[in-house]
Amino acid sequence: MVDADRYGVAGSPGDGPYVQIWLKLEGSKVLKASYETNGCPSSMACASALCELAIGREMEKLRLLEPSDLISYLGGLPEGKEMYAAMAVKAIREVR
């Protein structure tokens, strides 16, 4: 996102699983959100869902999200892929 004013990351981009989140805020409210991840379908689903949930919400509320909230929003994840929900939530908590 060209006009992002906030960024958060979980994992190591280019070295294993990761989620990067870019946000455009007005005050503490999210106007726009985008992501980049390593391409695993579960990782993409979690990062995309997180961006959907972020738009229109206050950052303090987003930082309260738990991985289980994201998994519920998605209707579940394949067994063994829950770590991607945790990575997406960690990325939003790391937004600076």
What domains appear along the chain, each with residue ranges and CATH number? 6-93 (3.90.1010.10)
Query: Where residue 39 falls among pLDDT bands split at 50, 70, 90?
Result: confident
Residue 15 buriedness (CB in 10 A; 0-12 / 13-18 / 19+): exposed
Give the distance, in angstroms, between the CA of residue 32 and the centroid of all CA atoms in the same chain. 12
Query: pTM of the prediction?
Result: 0.94
Share of the chain above pLDDT 70, in %: 100
Q: Which are the contacts of 89, defined by CB distance < 8 A and separation ≥ 6?
A: 50, 65, 66, 67, 69, 70
Tell me the C-alpha distance between 65 and 63, whole Å. Answer: 6
